[in-house]
Chain A
Amino acid sequence: MSHADWEAVIGLEVHCQLSTNSKIFSGAAIAYGAEPNTQACPIDLGMPGVLPVLNGDAVKKAVTFGLSVDAEIARRCVFARKHYFYPDLPKGYQISQYELPIVANGHLDIELEDGPNSVTVKRIGITRAHMEEDAGKSLHENFSGSTGIDLNRAGTPLIEIVSEPDIRSAAEAVAYLKKLHQLVVYLGICDGNMQEGSFRCDANVSVRRRGTEKFGTRTETKNVNSFRYVEKAIEYEIERQIEVIEAGGTIVQETRLFNPDTGETRAMRSKENANDYRYFPDPDLLPVVCTEDYIDAIRSSLPELPEAKRARFVSVFGLSDYDAKTLTSSRELAAYYEAVVAASGAEPKLCANWIATDLLGALNKLGKDIGESPIGADAFAGLLKRMVDKTISGKIAKDVFEAMLAGEGSADDIIQAKGLVQITDESAIIAAIDDVIAKNPQQLADFRAGKDRLFGFFVGQAMKATQGKANPDALNRLLKEKLK
C-alpha cells in the first residue's frame, strides 16, 4: 500500500510566551538570559505561605489574541492547578486553566500554494487558548552528576493555543504555525523568539486510511522549537506510524521527543505512565471576569491585522499581492514601508521595489531584520526623494544605497561628497557624445550601416565619460539625434 492511501491528522498545541513586564502571578521581571535564579521571587520559588496575584496585562494579551482569531472570550474563566512533581516546578503544580479557558472557538485561515499560481485558503479551527504559568529549567550540564535548577522562567505568562485536528500535512502545519507566529508578533503580545522558547510547539499526529472517518491513535511530539523541526518531526512521525501499521503493528498513545540531530522522534512516556494531573480550581485565585466594556476596549485598540493590511496595500498603493504580502510580513516592515512612501513622495510601487528587493536583500545578507536596518525609514526616503527630483539616476541611486549601507551618511551627504549629481546640462552631455563619436569612427560607420545594436555601445561610452552622471533620458534623446 502506498503513502497516497494514508492521511495524516494533525493538531498543534502552541505555547506562546506573553511579553508582559512581570510574571503572571508575581512582580518578578521576565527578561531572558539573566543569571540563574536572579529573577525569581518567593512566589516564583513556591515558598511556604506566599500567594499568587494575577497580572492584568497577561489577561489583556490573552483577550487580544482571542479577538484576533475571532474566538469567544469567556466572561468568566477559572485558573486550575495541574499537579505533577518535577524539580523545575516549584509548587508541585502549575497554575493553568482547565475547564474554563479564557479563549474558545476561534480560527485562523492559512494559504496553501498548491501550484505555481494557485493558492487555496484553508480554515484551521482553534479549539481554545488558555493562560498558564511556565515552569523553570533543569540544567543538566556542568553540574557533575547533579542537576541545576534555574527558576527565572518559572511563572512567565503563557497562552497555550490548541488547534482543532484540522491539519493534514507537515506543510499545512508549518503554514499554520507561521501564520500564528506572525499574528502574535503583530499583536505585540509575544516577541516570537523561537530560539529562546517564546513560541514552542507540541504536535499531535495520527494517521488513518484515506476515506475513513475515525481518527487513528495519536502521539504527541513535545517542544519542537523551529518551523523546520516541526516539519521534519511531523514528516518523520507520519512515516513512522504508517510503517508501523503496515507492518501489522499498532500505534501506542505516547509522548515523544524530537531529536534535531537525527531528525527522528523517540518515545518519552506512554499513556500508562502519564501523570494524573488532579486538576481542581485554584482556591488562591478568584475567577476572572471579563466584562463587555473590558472586551470592547481591547477590541477597539487591536492593531490592523496582517490580512487587512495586505488588502489595503493592494488597494491603496496598487501593489501586487506578492509585494503586499512581503511588505506586511511583519508589522515593523509594513510601518517602514508606509513611512518611506509618506516621506519620499515617490511612487508606492517604486518604494515597494526598492524595499522588497534592494533593502531586504541587503538585510538578508547582513542577517538583520528591518528593526536593525542600518538605514532608517527617513534616510531611505531621502534616497528615493533624490531619484524623484532627478538629482540622481536609478543607477547612481544603487551606488548611493550601497554607501548608505556602509554607513557613509545620508543620501545627500554621499551625493555631495562623491559629486554624483546628475548632469542635466545638455551642452555637457552633447560634448561627451561628440567626444565618444569622434573617438570611435569605425563603430559609427558600422552603426550607420545598419548595426542598430551598437546604439547601446555609444550609450555606455557616453555614460562612462560622464562617470554615470548623465541624465539617462537626455543622453538617449541627444545620442539618437547625433547618430541620425
Chain B
Amino acid sequence: MTLHKLSIKQLADGLRGKQFSARELTQHYLGRIAAHDKDLNSFITVTPERALAQADAADAVLAQGDGATLTGIPLAQKDIFCTTGVRTSCGSKMLDQFVAPYDATIVQKLDAAGMVMLGKANMDEFAMGSSNETSYYGPVKNPWDVTRVPGGSSGGSVASVAAGLAPIATATDTGGSIRQPAALTNLTGIKPTYGRVSRYGMIAFASSLDQAGVVARSAEDAAYVLQAMSGFDPKDSTSIERPVDDLVSGLNQSIKGLRIGLPSEYFADGLAPGVRERIEQAIDVFKQLGATFSEVSLPNSPLSVPTYYVVAPAEASSNLARFDGVRYGHRAEGAKTLEELYKRSRGEGFGAEVQRRIMIGTYVLSHGYYDAYYLQAQKVRRLIYDDFKRAFEHVDLVLGPTATDVAFKLGAKTDDPVAMYLNDIYTIAANLAGIPAMSLSCGFVEGLPVGLQLMGNFFDEARMLNAAHQYQQATDFHTQWPKEFES
C-alpha cells in the first residue's frame, strides 16, 4: 500500500471515491509511525485514540457526502501548539507534564476542517535551535541520512512528512524554523506574513517574529492546509484583519513575466558550491517558465543574524519568565525558599540552549544596556524591512538559497553556538521584516536535499505558492523519497 505517497488532493479524492476510509488512512499512518519512528524520533506524543476518533467522525461526515478537501486527512502538529487533553511539551522538560485546558486557534481550525491529528511532533526546546538537537526528548534524525540532523526547530514536523509518517505537518518559524528544516529534508515549507496565522495557543518564543506555517511535500499540499490555518483571530491582537486569498485556485497561473530579484548578499562567501549550483539550475528553470531575473540589493542583510540574536533572546527571556514552577510545569522538589524554588525549577526545567538565550535576553534588556542593544536592534530591523520594501518596488519575489549547505552530521555543531546560529543567515531577514517566505526542494548534493528560498511582499503567499507550484510542475525533485522510508 502506498497511501503515504499520495498528495492531499489525491487523498481527498480517494476518500470521496471510497477507495479508502479516513480510518484506514489514519491506521496506515499510525502503522508507519509504529514501524519507523524509532529510527527518526519525529513524534514526542502519538495520539492513536484521538486520531481514530477524529477519523471516524470524518468518515461519518464523508458518508453524508459532506466535508471539505481536508476532511479525514491526517497531520502532525508541532508540539508547540496547545491541544486540549494532550500533552504540549514544547520539547522541554519544563512542560513534560503540561496538558493545556485550551486549543491553539490553528488546532481548532484544522480540527474544524476535519483533519486528523496523528500526534505531536518533536522540536527543539521552545523552538530554539537549528538542528532539533536541543529537544528534551532527544534529537530527530534526517530521513535522508539518519546520521544527520533534519534542521530545526521544526525537525519532528519535517522528518515525519519526509519519511511518510504524516502527509503534512504544522510548523513554526521564528528565524527559519520552517524553511531550513524543509530545505534539509526535501520538503516545501512556508512561513506566511507575520499576522496571517493566529499565534493564540502557540507557545511563544519571540512574539514579534513567531509565525506558524506548514511543511508539506509540495506547494499544492501546503496551499490547502495554509488556507485553512490563515485568517484573523480576535484572540491575537497582532493577527491581521484582512481576507485570505484563495491559495489553491491561484496555483495554476502562468508565471510568465514574473519578476524575480536575486540579492547579491545571498550568493556571497559561505554558500556551499554545490548548493549554489542547484540554485543556479533552478533559476534556469524559472527562466524557461517565463520569469525574468534582476539583481536586487539587501545591503543590511548581513546584520540580520546579530539583530536577531538581540531581539529574539530579549523577547524569549520575557516570554519564558512565566515558567517559574509555581502554577504549572516543572517544580523543583524540596526548595526551602522562594528564590531557591525559582532558581532550581528553571535550572532543572530548561536545557542549556534555552538558558543561554534567557541570559542573553536578560542582559540586552538590562538597565543601561537596553539602548545599546534592544533599541539599536529595533532600528536595524527597520533598515532590513526598508531593504525589502525597496526591492519589492522592482521585483515580485526574491530568490536565494535557504541554507548555506546540506544537512550536517548530528553533533557537528552542538559545541559551537555561533556556527549553529549561522545556519539561519538567509532565513532570519524575512522574520525581522515580517514578510512571507518559503523553501522548496531544488535538487541534491551527494544524495542530500538542497532548498531554494522564495521571499514575497506582505500577503503575497498566493503569488509565492503559484511560482513554487509551477516550478514543481517542471521538476521532480520534490517527488523523490528517502529510500529507507519509501515503501
Contact = CB atoms under 8 A, between A and B. Distances in A.
Interface of A: 42, 45-54, 81, 83, 85, 87, 90-93, 149, 276, 278-280, 283-286
B20 interface: no
Given A54-B237, A90-B327, A278-B366, A49 B322 contact: no
Contacts of A83: 318, 321, 365
Given A91-B321, A283-B207, A283-B208, A50 B234 contact: no
B236 A51 contact: yes
Given A51-B236, A283-B208, A42 B321 contact: no
B485 interface: no
A49 B318 contact: no
Contacts of A286: 237-238
Interface string B274-300: 000000000000000000000000000
Contacts of B321: 83, 85, 91-93
A72 B323 CA distance: 39
Given A47-B100, A47-B102, A92 B324 contact: yes
Contacts of A53: 234-237
Interface string B186-215: 000000000000011111101110000000
A284 B237 contact: yes
Contacts of B102: 42, 47, 50
Contact of B207 (A87, A93, A276, A284): A284
B6 interface: no
B200 A91 contact: no
Contact of B203 (A49, A91, A149, A283): A49
A148 B97 CA distance: 22
B374 A49 contact: no
B322 A48 contact: yes
B327 A48 contact: no
Given A280-B318, A284-B207, A285-B237, A49 B200 contact: yes
Interface in B357-411: 362, 365-367, 370, 374
Contacts of B338: 87
Contact of A51 (B98, B199, B342, B366): B199
Given A278-B366, A286-B238, 14 more contacts: A47-B101, A47-B322, A48-B98, A48-B322, A50-B102, A51-B199, A51-B235, A92-B318, A92-B324, A93-B321, A278-B365, A280-B374, A283-B208, A284-B238
11 contacts: A42-B101, A48-B100, A48-B323, A49-B203, A50-B102, A52-B237, A90-B322, A91-B322, A93-B318, A280-B374, A284-B207
Given A49-B200, A51-B200, A278 B318 contact: yes
Interface of B: 80-82, 88, 90, 95, 98, 100-102, 104, 199-204, 206-208, 234-238, 314-315, 317-318, 320-324, 326-328, 338, 342, 362, 365-367, 370, 374
Which has the most chain B C-beta neighbours within 10 Å: A54, A276, A280? A280
B365 A280 contact: yes
Contacts of B88: 48-49
- CB-CB nearest 5 A-B residue pairs: A92-B321, A278-B365, A283-B208, A283-B207, A46-B322
Contact of B314 (A51, A93, A280, A284): A280
Contact of B326 (A81, A87, A278): A87
A48 B94 CA distance: 11
Nearest to B239: A51
Nearest to A25: B237
Contacts of B90: 48
Which has the most chain B C-beta neighbours within 10 Å: A49, A53, A93, A280? A49
B82 A48 contact: yes
B236 to A, nearest CB: 5
A279 B365 CA distance: 7
Contacts of A278: 317-318, 362, 365-367, 370
A127 to B, nearest CB: 21
A92 B328 CA distance: 13
Nearest to B328: A47
Contacts of B314: 280
A83 B342 CA distance: 14
Given A47-B102, A278-B367, A92 B322 contact: yes
A50 B315 contact: no
A91 B200 CA distance: 16
A169 to B, nearest CB: 34
Contact of B95 (A46, A48, A52, A276): A48
Nearest to A278: B365
Nearest to A286: B237
Contacts of A48: 82, 88, 90, 95, 98, 100, 203-204, 322-323
Contacts of A45: 327
A86 B448 CA distance: 49
B417 to A, nearest CB: 22
A252 B370 CA distance: 27
A93 B320 CA distance: 10
A296 to B, nearest CB: 25
A283 B208 CA distance: 5
Contacts of A92: 318, 320-322, 324
A324 B102 CA distance: 56
B327 A50 contact: no
Contacts of B367: 276, 278
A49 B104 CA distance: 8
Contacts of A91: 321-322
